[in-house]
Structure 1
Amino acid sequence: MTKEKIVSIEDRIPKLKQARKKKANRRLIFYLSIFFFLISIIVYLQSPLSHVKSIIVNGNSFYEDEELINRSGLHQNTNIWTIKKEEIVQALEEVPIIDTVEIETKLPSTVAIHITEHKRIGYIKKGQAYYPILANGSLFTESSKEYLDGDAPLLVNFTDEEKLIEISKELSKLPKGIFNIISELHWNPTEKNQNTITLYMSDGNMVESSIRDFSEKMTVYPSIAAQLDPSKEGIIHIGIGAYFKPFNEEMTEEELEASYNQENEDIE
C-alpha cells in the first residue's frame, strides 16, 4: 500500500493566513476603487468639466443661432447632465417657423439642436413687403422680402383664414416639379363655389381649379401642358375632368358640362 502524505496543521496555517490576506486585500482594493470612482463622479459633476462648452444649431435659416440658443435656455454654465430636453423642445417649438426640434448631447461638453422648419409654400403681399406663408397656413411676420425670388408662389386675395390654411396644406403636398412652376395663385370665390382658384404658371399657362383636393388634381397638369399648341393661348380647367379652353372661343357642350360639374363639385 502507498502511504498518504500527511500535512500537519502547522504547515497549513501560514498558507491559509496568506490566502485570507490576499482575499482581504483584493476586497479592500475593490471597495476603494468604487469609493474613488464615486468621488471622481461627484467632483466632475460639481466642476466646470461637466458644463456645456459648445452649442450647435442645425437647420436654422431665419434666425440668428444665438437667438435660438437664448430661447432654448441653454448656456455655458448649464450642466450637461441636468439638461431637460423636453423643456427645450417645447420652448423652441413655440417659434412659428419651427416644425420639429431634436436635442442631442455629445459628451463631454457639446449640445446639438437639430431644427426642422415649416416649409414655405407661398408669399402674401402686405404694403410693400412680401411675407412667407408656412405649410400650416400661418403668416410668418418676423421675416419679409422686398422682392420675390421665385422660391414659392404669390398668394392673392386669400382673405379667409380657413381657405388659406386649406390651400397651404394642399400646396405642401404638391410634387416639387409642379410647385416650382406656379407663379401666382388667386382665390376667386363665387356664390356657387367658394373654392375656385386661378393659377398663373411660369410656363405661360393659366389654370382654373379648386382648393379641395388641389394637390391630387394638379398631378395631371404636366401631361396636359405637354399636349397644348404653344400658339394658342387659353386656360386649363382642372376639376372633376380636365380640358383646355382657348381665349375668346365658345365652349363645346362637353366643356360646358365639365365646367358646370366643376362649379358644383365643392358646394357645401
Structure 2
Amino acid sequence: MSFKINRDKSKRHVAITPWEKYQSEERQRAAKKTNRVQRIGAKLPRLKQQKHRRLAQRMSILIGIFGILLLISGYYVSPLSHIGKITVDGNHALTDRQVVKVSGIDHGDSIYQVVGKEQKLSQRVKNSNSRVKQISFSIAHFNQLTIRVKEYPTAGFVPANGYYRVALTSGVISKERQKQPTGSYPVYDRFKSPKQLSQMIKQYAKLSKKIQTGISEIQFSPTKADPQRVHLYMNDGNEVYASISTFASKMAYYPSIAAKMSHKGIVNLEVGAYSYSF
C-alpha cells in the first residue's frame, strides 16, 4: 500500500513577534535618518558658499555707503565746496563789486547758497536794484561762480534836492544819484506826476540813438488844450513842443524837419508837424 503526500507549494505566512517588528521599524528609521544626514551633508558646502557670498555682498554695500559718506564729508570741508572765484559779465553802469554785493554771495560762501536757488537769488537782486533787468548765476569747475547781468540803460537824469537821480529806460527812477548829469542824456524837469514822468521816459526809450543824443532837456509844460505837453531843448539849438502820448512816433520826423529849417526855431509836433523860426 502506498501513501501520496500532497505538499502545499504556496508560501506560508509566518507570524513575527512584537520585538522583531520593533527592530524592523528601528532599522527603517535609522536608514531614513542616515539618508537625511547624507543629503544635508551634501548640501552643507553649497550653503556655506551662499552664506559667504551674502556676507561679502553686505560688507561691500556697507563699505560703499561709508565710502560715499566719507567722500561727501570730505567735500563739504574742502575748499571745492566753497566759492573760490567770482566773475561778473554783462554789466556796464554797475561795477563788479556792486553786482557781487547786491547778489549777497561772496568768496568763501558755500556753493549750496547758489545751487538750486538761482531763481530766488535772481528775484531778490531785481527787487533790491532797479538797474538790474536780468541776472543769472552758474557754477563751473566745482566752485567758480559766474554772474551774468543785463541792465536797464540810463534814460536821463531827474533833479532832486541838489542832486540828479538816474532815470532808467524801464521808466523807473533809480536810487542812484550824482552831482551833475553825465553823458548825452536829457534832464527831465518840472514833472509833478511820477506816472507822467515814467510815461515820458518810456517814450524817450523808443527813440533812435541819434535822436536821443540830440535832446538836452525835457520840461513838462502842460496847457489847457494839451495837458500832456512837453517842451524840449535840443542840442542843435532848436526847441520842440510835443505831447507825451505821441512823443516817440512824432519825434521820428524831427531830423528831416530840422534839416529843412533855414534858421533855428520851434518845431511843433503836438498836432501835425510844422516849424517856424524864433
Closer, same or farther: CA 33–245 of 1 in aligned 2, 3 Å: farther
> Cα distance, 1:209 vs. partner?
0.9
CA distance in 2, matches of 1:238, 1:178: 15
Q: Mean Cα displacement is larger for which, 83-92 or 136-145?
A: 136-145
- The answer to whether the 8 A contact 1:205-1:235 is kept is yes
Aligned length: 221
**CA spacing shift, 1:212–1:89, aligned 2, 3 Å:** same
Could you give the per-residue CA deviations for residues 28-71 of structure 1, whole angstroms, max 9, x where no partner exists?
Answer: xx989987678645633453222210112234455553344233
Alpha-carbon shift at residue 184 of structure 1 (Å): 0.9
**In the alignment, which residue of structure 2 is the partner of 1:54?**
85
1:71 to 102, 105, 113: 102
Taking the aligned partners of 2:104 and 2:247, their CA distance within structure 1 comes to 41
**Partner residue, 1:137:** 171
Specify the alignment match of 2:25 in structure 1: none
Match of 1:169 in 2: 202
Say which is worse superposed, 198-207 or 164-173, in terms of deviation. Answer: 198-207
Alignment equivalent of 1:125, drawn from 150, 159, 163: 159
Q: Read off the aligned partner of 1:155 and give its amino acid letter.
A: Y
Q: What CA distance in whole angstroms lies between the structure 1 residues aligned with 2:81 and 2:160?
A: 49
* Letter in structure 2 aligned against 1:212: S
Q: Provide Cα deviations, 1:152-174, integer angstroms capped at 9, x if missing partner.
A: 10111111111101001101111
The CA distance in 2 between the partners of 1:37 and 1:166, in whole Å, is: 59
Whole-Å Cα distance in 2 between the matches of residues 88 and 32 of structure 1? 39
The answer on whether the counterparts of 2:267 and 2:274 sit within 8 Å (CA) in structure 1 is yes
Q: Distance in 1 between matches of 2:233 and 2:275?
A: 14
Output the CA distance in 2 between the equivalents of 1:151 and 1:234.
Answer: 22
For residues 228 and 236 of structure 1, the distance between their equivalents in structure 2, rounded to whole angstroms, comes to 9
Contact 1:62/1:143 (8 A) holds in 2: no
Change over 3 Å in CA distance of 1:144–1:82 after alignment to 2:
closer
> Which residue of structure 1 aligns with residue 254 of structure 2?
221
Which among 145, 148, 155 is matched to residue 111 of structure 1?
145
2:160, 2:61 → 1: CA distance?
A: 72
Q: Deviations over 1:157-216 (max 9, x none)?
A: 111111101001101111101001001111101122111111111111111111012111
| Long gaps (5+) in structure 1 | 1-26, 248-268
Cα-to-partner distance string for 1:242-263 (whole Å, 9 max, x where unaligned): 111223xxxxxxxxxxxxxxxx
Instruction: Quickly say closer, same or farther: Cα 1:122–1:70, change in 2 above 3 A.
Output: closer
2:254 counterpart SS class: helix
More displaced, 129-138 or 189-198?
129-138
C-alpha separation between the residues in 1 aligned to 2:194 and 2:135?
Answer: 27
CA contact (8 A) 2:229 2:270 kept: no
Q: Give ranges in structure 2 of 5+ residues lacking alignment.
A: 1-56
Tell me if 1:188 matches 2:221.
yes
TM-score under structure 1 length normalisation: 0.71
1:239 aligns with 2:270: yes
Are 2:189 and 1:149 equivalent residues in the alignment? no
Using the aligned pairs only, state the percent identity.
30
Query: Considering only CA atoms, is the larger Rg found in Structure 1 or Structure 2?
Result: 2
Distance 1:188 1:112 in 2: 47
**Aligned-partner Cα distance in 2 for 1:245–1:66:** 51
Question: 2: distance between equivalents of 1:90 and 1:163?
Answer: 27
Q: 1:82 to 1:136 in 2, by over 3 A?
A: closer
User: 2:161, 2:219 → 1: CA distance?
Assistant: 18
* Aligned-CA RMSD value: 3.0
